[in-house]
Every structure is written in C-alpha cells, then in structure tokens.
Amino acid sequence: ANNTLNNLCKTVPYDRIANIQKILIEEKYRPHHVLLANYSPPFYCKPLNAYPYDVQKYVDSSTSENLIALRKYWKRWQQNKTLELFQLSLPFSVSATGLPMNPNGRQGIAGRGNHLKFGANLLNVYVVIRRSNHNHLMILLERNTTFPIRAQPSNEHCDKELQFILRNILLDDSSINIFSSQNLLNIGETSNGVAHVKRVPVVDVRDTDNAWTEHDIWAIFLGSQPPEVAPETDDGSLNWQCCGDKNALSVRDREYLSASLAFFSDAQ
C-alpha cells in the first residue's frame, strides 16, 4: 500500500496531556504489516520523577544509556523466541530499532508513554471461585460488576495483591500463603488450586507503539474453605455472587470465567 504521511497529518493529545501529541491513526493503517512510508511518530517516555516514589523502582528508565541496553535486551529476546517450540506468551515482534511492537498495532506515538515498562504492562484479573454450603459455585466480584483487577509491576515470589483480597474474605493465613505463592506459574499451568489461565491484550489510553496493556487472568478455586460471610472491605466493594447469574458480567468477564472454569472441571 502506497500510504504516506499525508494520511497522518492529524494529531490529538496523548492521554489528555495537552503538550504531548500523537498521530491519529485510521483503523486500516494500524496493523504493522500495512506499510506506511515516512511513519515517524513522536517518541515519549514519562519522566521517572513524575511517577509516585513507590512506583519509580518498577519503571523502565528512558535515559539514552538505558535505551541502548533495552534495545539489546529486546533483540536478544526476539532471537530466543524464534528458537522456542512453544509460545506461552502473546505473539508480538520487535521492531528494527529493537523495541517491542504493540500487538494491537500502531498507536501514533512511540516510546514507553505513561506506562511503567516497554512491552506488556500486566493487570492481574483474579477469578476467585468457591463452593457454597448449598453446593453452588460462587464468584468474587468487585462492586457487583467485575472481577478484581490489580496492577502487578513486579515479579515477586508472592502475589501481595491476591494476599490482600484473600485476607478480606477471611481465609486463614496458611491457605493465603499457598494460593498467593503460585504466581510464577506459566500460562496454562495449574497448582494448589491456582491456574494461570491466559493473557489478553486490552486497549488503554496510555498505550503506545512500544508499550501496551494486557490482562493476566488467574483463577483461584478455594473449595468450600472461607466462611460464608460478606468480605470485610472498608468500602464494601467485594462481594460473592452466584456463578450461575452470569448476566451481571460483561461479555469479556464471562469469557474469562468460562476459561477459568475449564481448569477446574471437577469443581462443576
């Protein structure tokens, strides 16, 4: 396709920042395989000191030295990927400049943007399932509408966000430790009532050509362990709902639930 920059003269503010512009990309020009002559989007990385102090340690630094190191890392990552027989993560490639390419296509702005990291920025989705005294399957929802979603910037051996959620539903400490220490499972693996279900790219206003958002879906089957009482949260945001009442869920969350239940077929 002989498309040039003439198609791409309109710009809009990036993530509501007035002085940072991104090119407005028509849907048909988003896929990377559609050749765009002269496509040269602005490059932007939110400065390190603009992030909250407790988050700064997770941010990919965008100094020129670190960008050189990052480009080497991603090129090496790409070489290793071509040798792998099984692709466990989402398929995406690395650009000629050595930066990961958004699987959702061109976004009209390059760099890390307002994300923490180049590449995938993960949001954990927790599909917590239990069995009631009446043998019904129950799911834990936030504000009656969606599964709990939490940012997970680090790869620690223990999932502190899941710990916090399980503590709110009055699970005992030893069970909490077991469930929250399964967070290094590969996609498709299950252990001790926890399944790493899959990863799904989702659209986020912070997304760029080189940094994007993925939902990382984790299923936790508690059996009939926790007491049948309302979760203890300050704002009452968590509650149990009957699994059969799927109308309360969005199409996306119904799909996440279905994929999660497939790992615990003996529970149904």
Q: What are phi and psi of 187, to 5 degrees?
A: -60, 135
* Domain count across the chain: 2
Element (H, E) at 88: none
Place of tokens 């043998």: 135
User: Where is average pLDDT lowest: 112-116, 227-231, 239-243?
Assistant: 227-231
Identify the CATH number of the domain in which residue 245 sits: 3.90.79.10
Q: What are phi and psi of 198, to 5 degrees?
A: -175, 175
Whether 30 and 84 map to the same domain: the answer is yes
Residue at a domain's end among 119, 152, 187 = 119
Mean pLDDT of 91-103: 84
Q: In 124-246, which residue ranges form alpha helices assigned H by DSSP?
A: 160-168, 173-180
Whether 140 and 248 map to the same domain: the answer is yes
The answer to whether residues 139 and 257 touch, using CB atoms and an 8 Å cutoff, is: yes
Whether 20 and 71 map to the same domain: the answer is yes
pLDDT value at 137 more than 50: yes
Q: What is the tens place of the pLDDT at every residue in 86-95?
A: 555 555 788 8
Look at residues 69, 174, 170, 59 and name the one whose alpha carbon lies nearest to residue 121. 59
In the prediction, which pLDDT does 1 show?
46
Whether 48 and 153 map to the same domain: the answer is no
Instruction: Determine the structural domain holding residue 109 and report its residue range.
Output: 5-119
Whether 172 and 250 map to the same domain: the answer is yes
Whether 147 and 82 map to the same domain: the answer is no
pLDDT value at 218 more than 70: yes
pLDDT value at 83 more than 90: no
Residue at a domain's end among 70, 95, 119 = 119
Whether 187 and 86 map to the same domain: the answer is no
Percent of the chain with pLDDT over 90: 56
Residue at a domain's end among 65, 99, 119 = 119
Q: What is the tens place of the pLDDT at every residue in 143-160?
A: 878 999 999 877 777 899
Mean pLDDT of 199-212: 95
Q: What is the tens place of the pLDDT at every residue in 21-61?
A: 999 999 999 998 898 888 999 999 999 999 999 999 999 99
User: Where is average pLDDT lowest: 58-67, 131-140, 180-189, 223-232?
Assistant: 223-232
Whether 213 and 144 map to the same domain: the answer is yes
The answer to whether residues 140 and 132 touch, using CB atoms and an 8 Å cutoff, is: no
Whether 155 and 245 map to the same domain: the answer is yes
In the prediction, which pLDDT does 7 show?
53
In the prediction, which pLDDT does 117 show?
95
How much is the pTM?
A: 0.86
Whether 86 and 126 map to the same domain: the answer is no
Separation between Cα atoms, residue 116 and residue 62, nearest integer Å: 11
Whether 9 and 131 map to the same domain: the answer is no
